[in-house]
């Protein structure tokens, strides 16, 4: 687990209760410039929660690094991730749905690699700043033809 925050004590308690201490490592706070190194070490990246009106920046960072992402099926995330193609979606706040998605990716390395590569291709082809600039220029040119 990379980072730190108000849920750390609760997570420590849960990990101990579930006897998972040997499988979970907490980094604590990490300097921003070192985060790519930690992401690179991950097999699967998780967006545990998101609201209905924004997509988390971490989603783009994980996908750009060709990591398979498991995320909740909120509208902003569904506008980026196609379930099973460039990421895996679980039902928001549904622990069983989350566990099923995580388990499926954990046991299938080939699927993780394929989804990670598709995720990176999605970011490169659709979500770079260059792509946003091209859309704006296209809109401006379209407006000129009406005016």
Mean pLDDT in the chain?
90
pLDDT given for residue 31 in this prediction: 94
Structurally, how many domains does the chain consist of? 1
pTM of structure: 0.81
Q: Is the dihedral of CA 54, 50, 86, 42 positive or negative?
A: positive
Q: What is the dihedral of CA 118, 102, 80, 58, to 10 degrees?
A: -100
pLDDT greater than 60 at residue 147: no
SS3 82: coil
Q: How far apart are CA 116 and CA 123, in angstroms?
A: 11
23 found inside a domain: no
Q: Domain of 35? A: 31-146
4 found inside a domain: no
Residue matched to tokens 């928001």: 92
CB atoms within 10 A of CB 42: 13
69 found inside a domain: yes
CB atoms within 10 A of CB 90: 22
CA distances (Å), origin 140, targets 32, 46, 133: 36, 37, 11
14 found inside a domain: no
pLDDT digits (tens, 9 = 90+) for 30-84: 998 999 999 999 999 999 888 888 778 899 999 999 999 999 999 999 999 999 9
24 found inside a domain: no
pLDDT given for residue 81 in this prediction: 97
CATH label of the domain that carries residue 42: 3.40.50.2000
């Amino acid at each position: 687990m990379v980072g730190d925050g108000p849920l750390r004590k609760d997570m420590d308690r849960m990990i101990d209760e579930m006897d998972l201490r040997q499988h979970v490592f907490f980094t604590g706070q990490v300097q921003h410039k070192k985060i790519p190194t930690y992401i690179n070490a991950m097999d699967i990246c998780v967006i545990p929660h998101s609201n209905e009106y924004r997509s988390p920046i971490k989603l783009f960072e994980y996908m750009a690094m060709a990591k398979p992402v498991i995320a909740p099926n909120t509208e902003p995330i569904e506008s980026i991730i196609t379930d099973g193609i460039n990421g895996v979606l679980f039902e928001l706040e549904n622990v069983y749905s989350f566990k099923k998605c995580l388990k499926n990716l954990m046991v299938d390395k080939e699927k993780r690699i394929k989804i990670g590569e598709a995720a990176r291709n999605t970011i490169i082809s659709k979500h770079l700043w260059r792509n946003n600039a091209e859309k704006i220029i296209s809109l401006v040119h379209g407006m000129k033809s009406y005016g």
